[in-house]
Amino acid sequence: MMKHYTLPNNDRIPVLGFGTWNIGGGMSPDYSQDERGVAAIRAALETGYRHIDTAEMYASGHTEALVARAIRESGIPRQQLFLTTKVWHTHLRYDDVLRAAEGSLRRLETDYIDLYLIHWPGSVPLAETFRALNRLHAQGVVRHLGVSNFDLNLLKRSQALCHSPIVTNQVPYSLHHREYARNGVLAYCRENGILLTAYTPVEKGRVAHDPLVQEIARKHNATPVQIALAWLVQQPGVIAIPMSQNPRHIEENFRAAAIELDEEDMERLEGAA
């Protein structure tokens, strides 16, 4: 069974989720890629992923619709899944947040979102945005709230404005990209029970070319990408959301959570930045 963290209301969030950026298009829909995208999400579900990460910005909402279709076709009950989606930075006014959430719920074909994030900081005062987010949480439409791409100051302000615990800050974090470790966010998250969700965790495959990672991979009879993911999710308070549309890579990524790196492996990788 996939390792997980237990959230304040006893919901469980797996340490590995399936990212969906570029499935069904980039900033706009590419309907010609629908079958490939649905097949990738279904492959992830069939492999065992139960946390799916998406956003209203992905393919202008089309990705959310493909997630819903893949779930429907998989036959997996909604209550067994943990769905994360995000409100875009142009929709952070009070009424816009409520409309954005309604749109995501409709496209995802669900009556609740497990985790709803502010995708990027915007120009709207955070207090106005959180007034809407707190309402959605109080209504039960959103079970958990979080942020993405927030620096330490914005994260602290979000904590003060949020009526429920901030569950995560989703940021770029990987073996060679450690800005959020250097800027104090990672340490603050650990001290305050906030998960750090690492996106682009394998640097679009570039991490596989690192000689140290390759060496440790041989030791564990694993792929370098698996080692890079294992290094992340063995850290306290860190989860990761790799994405791939290749069924073999989807399965390899999923199995990374079962790899047990020893103390020496972790220390050597820690020093590899």
Residue type, 17: G
Active site residues: 58
Q: What does DSSP say about strands 18-19 and 142-148: parallel, antiparallel, or unpaired?
A: unpaired
Residue 52 phi, psi (nearest 5): -115, 130
**How would you list the strands of the sheet with 238-240, edge to edge?**
18-19, 51-53, 82-87, 113-118, 142-148, 166-172, 195-199, 238-240
Instruction: Return the axis-axis angle of helices 211-219 and 263-270, rounded to nearest 10°.
Output: 170
Q: How many helices (H) and strands (E) does the chain have?
A: 11, 10
